[in-house]
Amino acid sequence: MSHRDTFLHLSVIAVLFAAFFVLPAYHSGSLARIMVLAIYAMGYNLAFGYTGLLSLGHALFFAAGMYGLGLTMQLGGWAAIPAFALALVASLVVAGVVGVLALRTRGVGFMIVTLMFAQAGYLTALYFVQYTRGDEGFVIDQAARAIGPADLSSEAGRYFAALFLFAVTLLVIGALVRAPFGRTLIAIRENEARATMLGYDVQRLKWIALVVSGTISGAAGAAYALLFGYAGASFAGVQYSIFPLLYVLLGGAGTTLGPLIGAIFMFYLIDLSSGITNAYMLIAGVVLVLLTMFLPHGILGTLRKRALPWLP
């Protein structure tokens, strides 16, 4: 990763750090949620934006992390850190199994197969309702949501924990996509046949990309459950597979900061629209259609294409 990229990423992290002390409590609470969703979108972006894998099943990985943490804390009485580690393992295993099977297909077939896996995960959460409480979900005890003296259920604890996870994810992905591995993923996205001809094991690399992507998405699900104290089957639904796709498309696929920009834009678009009318999704839909038409590369992607080609 170049010094300019590192400086940009650290500047964004610094701005988010300062925002907690400047913004009203409502917006700092919203930003904590946005940062967790941006982590989810960054994981998705690694598969879609950098590798060209259009998945509609990432809600399965998000839910695997959420339930991996939530159930072990709620039913097993685990502490936050071991539960979070187990959630990462759970999402990694789920992503690995899904990758082995789904990557036998490509294109539209891959999209449909991943969607079916996500639906299977959603139905599984509904089936084991005695543990998951189905769509109603369950609340994680506030007393358990702490790491040492840090209370992650408090406003400050939640915000800075979200910021820490976001910062780590951003810096890791920034380094990853600039490394030879990341460059190879981009080559696969641009021309898979040529990458194969050059001797790369394309199938293995796509599987690794999907596993890393799913693990990051699972980390976001675990963080959501830990910081906001709730886990429910609705997070395994189709809409939570579509959300990261929207965030990435709006912010700019294949850009490191695009998922954050897209998550902020989408969150506040719905928030502001809902204050105007009950038909807020109509307003959001129109704006999204216009953005897709006039900014086909997303906000940051268009900016990089037209004015700032150095943007990561």
Per residue of the chain (312 residues), what is the pLDDT tens digit?
577 888 899 999 999 999 999 988 888 889 999 999 999 999 999 999 999 999 999 999 999 999 999 999 988 889 999 999 999 999 999 999 999 999 999 888 999 999 999 999 999 999 999 898 888 888 888 888 888 888 888 899 999 999 999 999 999 999 999 999 999 999 999 999 999 998 899 999 999 999 999 999 999 999 999 999 999 998 998 889 999 999 999 999 999 999 999 999 999 888 888 888 787 778 878 888 888 888 888 888 888 888 777 777
H runs (alpha helix) in 179-279: 180-190, 192-197, 202-228, 239-251, 258-274
What residue numbers bound the domain in which 205 lies? 3-237
Please report whether residue 284 resides in a domain: no
**pLDDT for position 1:** 58
Distance of CA 16 to the CA centre of its chain: 18
Please report whether residue 303 resides in a domain: no
**pLDDT for position 239:** 87
Q: Which residue, 2, 106, 5, 129, is CA-closest to 55?
A: 106
Please report whether residue 105 resides in a domain: yes
Q: Is the dihedral of CA 99, 105, 111, 112 positive or negative?
A: negative
**pLDDT for position 119:** 94
Please report whether residue 121 resides in a domain: yes
**pLDDT for position 135:** 85
- The pTM of the full predicted model, rounded to 2 decimals, is 0.94
**pLDDT for position 297:** 87
DSSP assignments along 69-113, one per residue:
HHHHHHTT---HHHHHHHHHHHHHHHHHHHHHHHTTS-THHHHHH
The domain tally of the chain equals 1
**pLDDT for position 207:** 96
Please report whether residue 297 resides in a domain: no
- What does DSSP assign to residue 232? -
Q: What is d(CA 207, CA 47) in angstroms, rounded to the nearest whole number?
A: 10
Please report whether residue 73 resides in a domain: yes
**pLDDT for position 273:** 84
Amino acid (one-letter) located at 266: M
Please report whether residue 68 resides in a domain: yes
Please report whether residue 89 resides in a domain: yes
**pLDDT for position 284:** 79
